[in-house]
Structure 1
Amino acid sequence: MYRVWNYISTYSLLLIAGALLALVWANLDPHSYHALVHYVLIDDFLIGEAEPEGGSVRRVLTLHFLVNDVLMALFFAIAAKEVWEAVILEEGSLRGRKAVTPLIATAGGMVGPVAVYLMLAAALGVFDAVSRGWAIPTATDIAFSYLVGRMVFGAGHPAIRFLLLLAIADDAGGLIILAVFYPTAELAPAWLLLSIGASVAVFFLFNWLPRHLDRGNQLRPRSTWVRKRLSFWPYAIAGALSWYGFQEAGIHPALGLLPVIPAIPHADRAFGIFAEAEQYLTDLLNRMEHALKVPVEIVLFFFGLLNAGVEFSAISEPTWLVLLGLLIGKPVGIFLFGWLAVRVLRLGLPDGMGMRELFVVGCVAAIGFTVALFVATVAFPAGAVQDAAKMGALFSFGAAAISILAGRLMRIEKIAE
């Protein structure tokens, strides 16, 4: 039993509402919309280092920075939690031989869009202007891809699990790409020691050490005291330090909570993304995820509101590069690399799934939206190119119709749960 609608309603409906409101607002009254996006929350003048023209260094906290660089860290922390469970836990979905073919297909689903994007950019003569956006079409929106996948295959089809494995691996790859290829400033790797140190310290002091001291004592007094008295606070403080370390290191701070996720106590097994049973787990990591449900809903609404406001007149070459990278590069890359895994490496596909299903999975995975929209804001400075790329990410919802059509043409039989 999967709680897909709960997940969709939690992490996507308000996001879509914010995005639609932004599109309407930006096209009806762009001046007031951009005034909201760049609204200054804190305007702080510091006495100190002089600017070239004289005066003080000015530090400004805008609403856009607060949402994209600070609060979106909560969303990426939840994504990282799913990836962490899939990779490290005994029954994680990305462990062992069962994950090899989806991982290879995921690589194709990232290489294919990049190849299409860059080749089309070169063919159109805009390579230098748009090449930095190569990573935008590598994204897969896991929630909406899953929803469309159920519409195409049915809840009980083995392709659904394959799609989930692929989407989780895609999220992991996207996080790595953001960290490595899109620094926000000149890199200062020494600051990452703060992030790593905070994670190691909180794991040792509040996770490993209490359990070590409680060995042989069934009452576990120290672990119980830490859990009841300190709760999530040590990890929240470590997260704040890690966020600051990423910010100063020049890596996008929205990824700043990632090092702390493995340090938080977790149950020994994962039921899998969308698993209804997960809501009954009482370990600290799952309790923190449950507590973040409403805050992340609100954050995603404002993320959609502050980032999807693009005027339709902004549609240009980057729009089509992102869109075609997703609609063509994703299914072709996933199919070709999947074929390599199945036919050449003899790794096989799940029982009940063949090459037709693999191609349709690639079509479903072409829905970029959330992460694609985020990468567009990081890849390009605010302006016409960024707006055009965002429009391509929004238009990727067209992959849903293509997937349903492809499912019918390929005569995919739905399998009920």
Structure 2
Amino acid sequence: MYRVWNFLNEYSLLLIIGAVIALIWANLDYASYYEFVEFKIWDKAPIGAVHGDYRTLTLHYLVNDLLMALFFAIAAKEVWEAVILKNGSLRGKKAATPLFATAGGMLGPITVYLGLAMILGSDTYDAVANGWAIPTATDIAFSYLVGRVVFGAGHPAVRFLLLLAIADDAMGLIILAIFYPSGELAPQWLLMSAAAAVTVFLLANWLPRYLDRGNQARPNSTWVRKNLHFVPYFIAAGFSWYGFMRSGLHPALGLLPIVPTIPHADRAFGFFAEAETYLHDLLNVMEHALKRPVEIILFFFGLLNAGVQFSSMGDATWLVLAGLLIGKPVGILLMGWIAAVPLRLGIPEGMRIIDLVVIGFVAAIGFTVALFVASVAFEAGPVQDAAKMGALFSFAAAIVAIIAGKLLRVQKQHF
């Protein structure tokens, strides 16, 4: 059912290559790497990072703040369908225990990260406290791959893990929007984003359907789809992104208000589902059209963000790792158990409570989103580099998960 290898090839292979090149480059010649990352594309530009009373568009800003909006739009599409559609994976009682586990998988890492930082002293705490959200991240693609290796493709724990990862992404988007603004807040600019979303929904989605009511031929909707296609949404996305940038919220989230306005299917088969390639609603068509561009964008994201020197390892490195490798499994086990046993919400048939520990280790692979949060949580410098190293080292969770699966006698189910 799931085309995970194709997905990983399309999304993650170039991301890994970019990250590896960045690590090698930064450790061989950090000065030239830094010069590349901060290459100025357009000084005194209408968009870009604020420098005094003007903006500068750098290569780093172009990728992290503008182009990565496409990556987060795809993540938002999956979350939106999981929540809104009748058979969405985050609807109903079946999602209750995974959602509780997701809460534990976020509260656990935050508690461990901040708790250990306090133990290390006030100076350390003050330096690293703003990175509390870094270890809450779960990389959907890599976690799903490792989950299949540990449990087998047919194990109910894999679906549980997928629900948890999607919900984790949804919470991650909310955290980025609320706690990590990109500048001084000017919320009135969000009216531009809201107006763009409402306008494009009314003119390109609702109005054609309203005019076609009672007419099965749907001439107006067909004309809009055939002649305008994605163009109205592309224009609205530009206005929405600009509104986010000027509002002070992170502009990489600027396309999120537009995603719900795009016509979508009345069913969702889920992330990695082969069946979704046969859906021809505009939202799915746009998602599949963006896959190749996003693949390239993720390569540059890895190249521009993973270049940290090994000498930069510090307190933030170990705090991020501790939050992921200790906080994630403990939090997921505790909250998952509360949901399944005292609250009697249960867990999927074929799963054991102890499997939640293994799921916790698998979910501790933060990588992509953890790298992104580290880049916005701290100013460029040693603390940010140390935190990024922790995000990169979170791949160690895959090894720990495989070992835990063996020790806890997980029975693989391949069908």
* TM-score, length of structure 1 as denominator length: 0.97
* 1:248 corresponding residue in structure 2: 246
Do structure 1's residue 115 and structure 2's residue 106 form an aligned pair?
Answer: no
Distance 1:326 1:44 in 2: 40
1:242-281 → structure 2 map (5 Å cutoff):
242-281=240-279
Question: Are the aligned partners of 2:361 and 2:401 in contact in 1 as well (CA < 8 Å)?
Answer: yes
Distance 2:126 2:384 in 1: 14
Q: One-letter code of the match for 2:56?
A: V
* 2:16 corresponding residue in structure 1: 16
Distance 1:267 1:66 in 2: 32
Distance 2:371 2:358 in 1: 23
1:287-366 → structure 2 map (5 Å cutoff):
287-366=285-364
* 1:88 corresponding residue in structure 2: 84
In structure 2, do the counterparts of structure 1 residues 232 and 28 end up closer, same or farther at CA, with 3 Å as the change threshold?
A: same
* Structure 1 ranges of 4+ moved more than 4 A: none
Q: One-letter code of the match for 2:158?
A: I
Distance 1:311 1:45 in 2: 31
Distance 2:291 2:350 in 1: 35
1:182-193 → structure 2 map (5 Å cutoff):
182-193=180-191
Following TM superposition, by how much is the alpha carbon of 1:58 offset from its aligned partner in structure 2, in angstroms?
A: 3.9
Residue 217 of structure 2, aligned match among 196, 202, 219: 219
Q: SS where residue 266 of structure 1 aligns?
A: coil
* 2:69 corresponding residue in structure 1: 73
In structure 2, do the counterparts of structure 1 residues 34 and 342 end up closer, same or farther at CA, with 3 Å as the change threshold?
A: same
Q: One-letter code of the match for 1:19?
A: A
Distance 1:34 1:288 in 2: 34
* 1:164 corresponding residue in structure 2: 162
Distance 2:329 2:55 in 1: 44
Distance 2:6 2:203 in 1: 35
1:47-89 per-residue CA deviation (whole Å, 9 max, x = no partner) reads xxxx99xxxx443110000000000000000000000010000
Q: One-letter code of the match for 1:65?
A: Y
* 2:284 corresponding residue in structure 1: 286
Question: Are the aligned partners of 2:45 and 2:57 in contact in 1 as well (CA < 8 Å)?
Answer: no
Distance 2:54 2:173 in 1: 31
Following TM superposition, by how much is the alpha carbon of 1:45 offset from its aligned partner in structure 2, in angstroms?
A: 7.6
Q: One-letter code of the match for 2:181?
A: P
1:268-300 per-residue CA deviation (whole Å, 9 max, x = no partner) reads 000111110001111100110111011100000
Following TM superposition, by how much is the alpha carbon of 1:217 offset from its aligned partner in structure 2, in angstroms?
A: 1.3
Q: One-letter code of the match for 1:66?
A: L
Distance 1:156 1:241 in 2: 44
Residue 152 of structure 1, aligned match among 150, 161, 181: 150
Distance 2:404 2:385 in 1: 30
Following TM superposition, by how much is the alpha carbon of 1:342 offset from its aligned partner in structure 2, in angstroms?
A: 1.2
The two structures, once aligned, show a CA RMSD in angstroms of: 1.1
1:198-245 per-residue CA deviation (whole Å, 9 max, x = no partner) reads 111111111011011001112211101100110000000111111011
Following TM superposition, by how much is the alpha carbon of 1:403 offset from its aligned partner in structure 2, in angstroms?
A: 0.3
Q: One-letter code of the match for 2:412?
A: K
Unpaired runs of at least 5, structure 1: none
Following TM superposition, by how much is the alpha carbon of 1:354 offset from its aligned partner in structure 2, in angstroms?
A: 1.0
Distance 1:371 1:411 in 2: 30
Residue 236 of structure 1, aligned match among 213, 234, 237: 234
- Percent identical among aligned pairs is 71
Q: One-letter code of the match for 2:86?
A: E
Q: One-letter code of the match for 1:76?
A: F
1:361-393 per-residue CA deviation (whole Å, 9 max, x = no partner) reads 111000000000000000000000000000000
Distance 1:58 1:253 in 2: 17
* 1:6 corresponding residue in structure 2: 6
Unpaired runs of at least 5, structure 2: none
Q: SS where residue 15 of structure 1 aligns?
A: helix
* 1:135 corresponding residue in structure 2: 133
**What is the number of equivalent residue pairs in this alignment?**
409
